Structure 1
Amino acid sequence: MLATFVIGLREGLEAVLVVSIVAAFLKRNGISRRPMWLGVFAAVLICVGVGVGLQAFEQALPQAQQEGLEAVIGVVAVIFVTAMIAWMAKNARGLKREIEAEATEALGRGTAWALAGMAFLAIIKEGFETAVFLLATLQASTSVVAAGIGALAGIAVACLVGYGLYTGGVKLNLGKFFRISSIFLIFVAAGLVLTALRRAHEAGWITIGQQHTVDLSWLAPIGSIRSALITGVLGIPSDPRVIEVLGWFAYLVPMLLIAFWPQAWRPSAAKLPVVKFSIAGALGLAAVVLAVAVPAGTAPLPTSAGLTPAGTVEISGIDNPTLRVTGGAASTPVTFHDGTPTERGGARVTEWTQKGDAAAAARPASLTLDDLTELFGRVPVGIDALQNPGPFDAAWTAASTTTVWTAHEGLVDAKSVVHETLTLTGGGLAISRTLTLDTTTWSVPQATATARANAVAAGDTLAGELTLWRAWLPLALGVAAVLLALSAWRDTRALRRAAAQEPNQPVATASESDRRSTSYAVH
């Protein structure tokens, strides 16, 4: 409730500031305010419709897609609030002058409808941001009703403040207000980053970095005031995962530094590019170190294994592996083609299959019902002991199938099976019956295959988790380094242009324009 109250107050105040300033401007100039109010009400209705439409659209989706949409909404909300905090930190002190200048320009076009359009666009902009931000916060809230009441209360207070500014009964230090509220909103947005990452995992989009870090259930017991503050307001769950903690700090720390770094410590305009280039270099170096130093996580797998009943199997090659069997089960080497990705024992492996001819074993040419029962463990289907008493004439053919399962250039499992086809005639059969009998010639022991499959699965899991540290985090650091370097390069070019235009003027510091705080009352 507290989070949505502050969001409603902050976002609502941004909108009503524009409306109150424009309304006061129209009043001073004796112009009808009716077109402006029509624009305001139209914009409000559109924004409410957008919020309701997004919620209805989400509820109509399957569960996994709902989680994905909530993740997207959370990301958009974080982008909106970040841009809003940055813009307001830069423009809050001159907001009234800027709005009145735009109002004067609109009035110069000769109609109050231009000012109505200005108010309409301002409400639309802030309303869209508010709808998305509140929707993301409501989705992460433990109580939708309480959060909704908080949002409405915040908007109502913003409207009252706006009316006070319009009538001149309220004076508000915009710089201080937006500075204090920005601290809170940065923490809320960091919580939305964390929530969006969890929703993305539940949607199946993010599978790495899901190890549990700390248990915060002692800090925020369910149903307690602390839980309402930590989980409900700041969006921090009792079981944060690795990627969520990284995302939380990656957003929170830079935003706090950028927004609230003391003015006295900020570098001058001439030194700012050097600072940015230095930070970009440090980020790039960290990305390289992580990419090189973090191991892949997969352990080497043996290429050979003992066989049951006797002998040893070994594979060589990657794309078209060759299998050799030595010892008691020695056979001709087999080369495989066209492996198929599959799972075996919970591990992701490649299955290779090669079929061939096989010499039929010494089998009798005549079989009784007892012989068939001994061979197949029961009387085969299609043969009736009363109508087909036997004995039967038996014709035998044989083929072999050799299958091997590999992973990470090593051997997981292998076996060779002889498929015998038995054709029965006579013995009371009206037509011939065809039966198959499979016999395993050799195989890797089950215990060995299970142990290797478990090792592959564990290695793949570890490799996936390490991908966060050796690929995705270096990529994020690299992108941040490039963007910061481009910003520094742009600042350098701006300084050179300024120096070329005014060679005798000293370069102003980046903090000189931000040393005054102004209070506004709209008259």
Structure 2
Amino acid sequence: MIATLVIGLREGLEATLIVGIIAAFLRRNRAPLTPMWTGVGVAVALSIAVGFGLQLVEQALPQAEQEGMETVIGAVAVAFVTGMVVWMRTHARTLSRDLQASASAALGRGTAWALAGMAFLAVLKEGFETAVFLLATFQASTDTGTAALGAVIGIAVAVLIGYGIYTGGVRLDLGRFFTVTGVFLVFVAGGLVLTALRHAHEAGWLVIGQQRTVDLGWLAPNGSVRGALVTGVLGIPADPRVVEVLGWVLYVVPVLAVALWPRAWRPSPERVPRVRAVLAAALAATAVVLAVAVPSGGGADLPRTVAVTGDARSVTASVDGDAAVLRVSGRGREDQITLPASVHRRVARAGTGADQWQVTEDVPATDRPTSLTLDQLVGLFGRVPVGVSPSTNPGPFAADWTVRDTVTLTTVRSGVLEATRSERNVLTLRGGGLPAARTTTLDRDVWTVPPADADRAATDLAAAQTRAAELRLWNAWLPLALLVAAAAQAALAARDRRRVRTPTTTTPGTDPSRGPPADVPARSLDHAVR
């Protein structure tokens, strides 16, 4: 509730201030207020519709798609709150003058409806940000009703404060107000970063950096006030993962520095490009160091020759594209089995993609006996086959065999994970006292990689794959994010350098740092923001 109350209060007050400045300007110039209120009402209605529309779309999606949409909404909300904090930090001092200048230009076009459009766009921007930010906060909240009540209270208080400032009955240090609430919302947005990353993992989009870091159950016990503050307001889970902690730090630290950096410490416009260039170089150097210093962890390599049990000692796989050749050694001979590309398919094994071939064919049963006694049947099956009674069917029996041979090979990066040759013997018995033919099936493995060896290799392979994926967070994804940030700072440095070189044209006798004089309500708003 606290988080949504602050969101509603801050966003509502921003919108109220904008509307108040425009209304003061219209009243001073004796222009009608009806078009402005029309634009404000339409913007509020559209903002509410956007929030409900997003909620309805999300509820209609399957679970995985819901998690994905919540990830996107959380990311957009974080972008909005970051832009809001940075924009208010850099424009709060000139908010009133900038709006009055835009209003003068709109009114100069000869119609109050231009001002209505200006109010509509301003309130729509704030309303859309509020809708997305509140929706993301609702999704991270355990009590949606309380969160909604907090938002309503915050917006109502913002309207009352804004009206009081407009009429002169309330004096509020808005500069300090926006700084304090901005810091609070930075931590709320940091919690949304954690929530969005967790939703991305649950949607199957993010599989790296999922190791547990610390247990914060002692800090945020369930049902406690601390738990409500840490988990419910700041969005910090009791079991943060590596990628979540990394995302939180990379977001909160720089944005908090922007929100709290003293104006006296800010570099002059001439030095800003140099500072940005140094920051870009530092980010790029850090990215290069991480990419080079952190090992790649390419994963485990399985052997191409493995031992088997049964009628052979070992098998060796040779993979060529989608085809493979399997050489089977044992009993003083070596057999070669060709596995064509037509029987190849990709399968999932040990948490990674694997290649599998399976060839099945009927083979002649020339080495099978054509007559079997009752003792031989028991020797083959380990018991008397179903449908055969020793007292009434003493044998011997005429035996008709059908033999189906299946060879299966599974490899990971050309190394053997599993290999099996099995036979299915279909035996049809006649005579020996049987009133009718009896058919039974006998399956056996001719040779196979021991299941324990295959399981151990799969476990080692999965652990190596997990380690490689975790290392990619540090030697690929984090350097990539740092390089993107470095490129952004370099682009901003180039932009600032062009601005410094471009002379500013000012009207003689005016101070470019000060705006035109304003009427009392607008001046009081501007003074309050300062």
Looking at structure 2, the residues matched to 379 and 340 of structure 1 have their Cα atoms a distance apart, in angstroms, of: 40
**Per-residue deviation, residues 154-173 of structure 1 (Å, max 9, x unmatched):** 11111111111221222333
Could you tell me the TM-score, scaled by structure 2's length? 0.86
SS at match of 1:315: strand
Match of 2:356 in 1: 351
**Per-residue deviation, residues 171-197 of structure 1 (Å, max 9, x unmatched):** 333333222221111111111111111
Match of 1:332 in 2: 335
Q: How does 1:170-249 map to 2 (within 5 A)?
A: 170-249=170-249
SS at match of 2:11: helix
Match of 1:295 in 2: 296
Match of 1:311 in 2: 313
Looking at structure 2, the residues matched to 445 and 94 of structure 1 have their Cα atoms a distance apart, in angstroms, of: 76
Cα–Cα, structure 1 residues 271 and 381, in superposed 2: closer, same or farther, change >3 Å? farther
Match of 2:27 in 1: 27
**Per-residue deviation, residues 78-102 of structure 1 (Å, max 9, x unmatched):** 1111111121111111111111222
Cα–Cα, structure 1 residues 489 and 321, in superposed 2: closer, same or farther, change >3 Å? farther
The yes-or-no answer on 1:454 pairing with 2:459 is yes
**Per-residue deviation, residues 335-379 of structure 1 (Å, max 9, x unmatched):** 434342324577753223345675646322124566556534667
- Structure 1 unaligned residues grouped into runs of 5+: 503-511
8 Å Cα contact 2:70-2:136 kept in structure 1: yes
Looking at structure 1, the residues matched to 60 and 319 of structure 2 have their Cα atoms a distance apart, in angstroms, of: 51
Cα–Cα, structure 1 residues 26 and 278, in superposed 2: closer, same or farther, change >3 Å? closer
SS at match of 1:17: helix
CA-CA distance at 1:221 after TM superposition: 1.1
In the alignment of these two chains, the number of paired residues is 509
8 Å Cα contact 1:348-1:456 kept in structure 2: no
8 Å Cα contact 1:22-1:100 kept in structure 2: yes
SS at match of 1:333: strand
The yes-or-no answer on 1:479 pairing with 2:466 is no
The yes-or-no answer on 1:469 pairing with 2:474 is yes
Aligned-pair identity (%)? 56
Q: How does 1:48-87 map to 2 (within 5 A)?
A: 48-87=48-87
**Per-residue deviation, residues 415-469 of structure 1 (Å, max 9, x unmatched):** 2224445455667899977765433222222221221121112222222222222
**Per-residue deviation, residues 204-258 of structure 1 (Å, max 9, x unmatched):** 2212211111111101111111112111111111111111111111111111223
Looking at structure 2, the residues matched to 22 and 36 of structure 1 have their Cα atoms a distance apart, in angstroms, of: 8
CA-CA distance at 1:62 after TM superposition: 2.4
CA-CA distance at 1:42 after TM superposition: 2.5
8 Å Cα contact 1:35-1:112 kept in structure 2: yes
CA-CA distance at 1:124 after TM superposition: 1.3
Q: Which amino acid aligns with 1:283?
A: L
Cα–Cα, structure 1 residues 274 and 25, in superposed 2: closer, same or farther, change >3 Å? closer
Q: Give the root-mean-square deviation of aligned CA atoms.
A: 3.2
Looking at structure 2, the residues matched to 327 and 274 of structure 1 have their Cα atoms a distance apart, in angstroms, of: 73
Could you tell me the TM-score, scaled by structure 1's length? 0.87
Cα–Cα, structure 1 residues 482 and 344, in superposed 2: closer, same or farther, change >3 Å? closer
CA-CA distance at 1:149 after TM superposition: 1.8
More displaced stretch, 23-32 vs 130-139: 23-32
The yes-or-no answer on 1:412 pairing with 2:413 is no
Match of 1:508 in 2: none
8 Å Cα contact 2:51-2:135 kept in structure 1: yes
Cα–Cα, structure 1 residues 296 and 10, in superposed 2: closer, same or farther, change >3 Å? same
Cα–Cα, structure 1 residues 267 and 97, in superposed 2: closer, same or farther, change >3 Å? closer
More displaced stretch, 209-218 vs 61-70: 61-70
Looking at structure 1, the residues matched to 353 and 114 of structure 2 have their Cα atoms a distance apart, in angstroms, of: 64
SS at match of 1:521: helix
Looking at structure 2, the residues matched to 425 and 345 of structure 1 have their Cα atoms a distance apart, in angstroms, of: 47
Cα–Cα, structure 1 residues 265 and 36, in superposed 2: closer, same or farther, change >3 Å? closer
Looking at structure 1, the residues matched to 420 and 41 of structure 2 have their Cα atoms a distance apart, in angstroms, of: 75
